[in-house]
Structure 1
């Protein structure tokens, strides 16, 4: 609790007078045979060594975060780490599926990370990487982090769809992995709630938040309860708010402060 309160204090006190650099890049995906756009936000006066991969939600795109939460650029400049917002497709849920143009797990983990690290000279160790996102992207961030603990040491989610099973007819999920009725095992294997057993003790630092009026509030509470039951340390924050940009424009402050603390601890141990 003290650690959580300490980064709350950082959020409250944070001020900046700088402007981060915002680039849009085309990242080649050999797996999907196309180029995929990403926004790269770099601190203006600091050479970044750490990167936070920040994922958008269902029906969104790569530019959502920088357009809808412009304070993000100020936070990047204040904290001194890079933020990368890749395009995850309209409804990919950041999975690899049987459809050739839905290979976003491979894109993020095997194509985007090397491209960013090669192009920007940032660190390539798991302790240099964090991943989080909103809604579909919150699910995607935890899904990828749980499955790729060799790549990520820090992960988060804001208003994440962390259990897809209560929503069998929503958000084109059954178009990606089949219907829940016919393919229950696929749904269990593609939902964050079904992957808790993959977390190795002490391997991931986690921060999860959700608004109390969000339609994903109940599944986030259940995830919190399951993580607690399995003795998996994590930070869990609830605040008033719905599933909208009013909430995410506030929650990004806490997300960024959490990852800053993670990266700062990494630097302190070197």
Structure 2
């Protein structure tokens, strides 16, 4: 599959008329011994009050980076202002799939996000540092990553989403560098079985997470999303599941992100803005 299917990068950052502030930081990862760039969008209200704000972490797809959410999406800063929370554009190093690789020590992205990035953000910014004030979502590779990280770290996240997520990676074992992170599915089948979201649903049976999952009906990931949805229904895992017309492209994701950020805003209203 050509990389252009996953992302079309634009030459300009679109910043509509709003007062949200955008910071680009470098966060040191001790586990990978390198600095990793991160984009932080704070609302207009941030510098005008002492209130701590909820945070939404955004995970890009294959071939993307931390700046994807501002380069390829027109409305992120505007929505941060509208909903009055902080958004974090996480860098997943092109094709990390956001887990700790059992075969490559240079790709330890679960540890980086959970143990390094989030504590750094909570120390540097006025955040609500609890699951009640923290959500995560992503698209494609990032959709898998957001569910993976939230299922495994429910003491960190209170809500999670997936947009066009590759929620079962096993049918795609030759694509998108996954075997570079897990080893080949033939030689290391256990790595694939325990690191695919569809096999992790028992972790979500506590129903402590607010979940939203969507996928376009013409997306090549639609079948694995439908299968995930049916398994979640059978296990009585509460979640919002949406199918809409659309493919695996920016047009679908721009619309999808609006639904997901509204979902997270409603979650924050129930938990920290009662």
Given the two structures, how large is their TM-score scaled by the length of structure 2?
0.90
Query: Is 1:85 matched with 2:89?
Result: yes
Q: 1:165 aligns with which of 161, 165, 170?
A: 170
How far off is 1:17 after superposition? Answer: 6.1
Counterpart pick for 1:65 among 62, 69, 75: 69
Alignment of 1:134-153 (within 5 A): 134-153=139-158
Change in CA separation of 1:268 and 1:81 when aligned onto 2, cut-off 3 Å: closer
Rounded to whole Å, the distance in 1 between the matches of 2:205 and 2:241 is 19
Q: Which residue is 1:178 aligned to? A: 183
Among residues 64, 75, 79, which one is paired with 2:79 in the alignment? 75
Instruction: Specify the SS of the correspondent of 1:166.
Output: helix
Whether the 8 Å CA contact 2:59–2:89 is kept in 1: the answer is yes
CA positional deviation for 1:121: 2.0
- 2:31 maps to 31
Gapped runs of 5+ residues in structure 1?
1-15
The separation in 2 between residues aligned to 1:140 and 1:200, in whole angstroms, is: 18
Q: Do 1:48 and 1:82's aligned partners in 2 also have CA atoms closer than 8 Å? A: no
What's the secondary structure of 2:171's corresponding residue?
coil
Alpha-carbon RMSD:
1.3
Report the alpha carbon displacement of residue 45 of structure 1 after superposing the two structures with TM.
2.1
Q: Describe how 1:87-126 pairs up with structure 2 within 5 A.
A: 87-97=91-101, 98-126=103-131
Q: How does 1:228-247 map to 2 (within 5 A)?
A: 228-247=233-252
Equivalent residue pairs, number: 254
Residue number in structure 2 paired with 1:7: none
Q: Distance in 1 between matches of 2:258 and 2:129?
A: 25
Residues 61-81 of structure 1: CA deviation (Å, up to 9, x unaligned): 000111111201100000001
- The correspondence for 2:217, drawn from 212, 217, 222, is 212
Residue 9 of structure 2: aligned partner: none
Is 1:50 aligned with 2:73? Answer: no
Q: CA deviation at 1:140?
A: 0.3
2:24 equivalent to 1:19:
no
Q: Structure 2: how far apart are the matches of 1:234 and 1:59?
A: 28
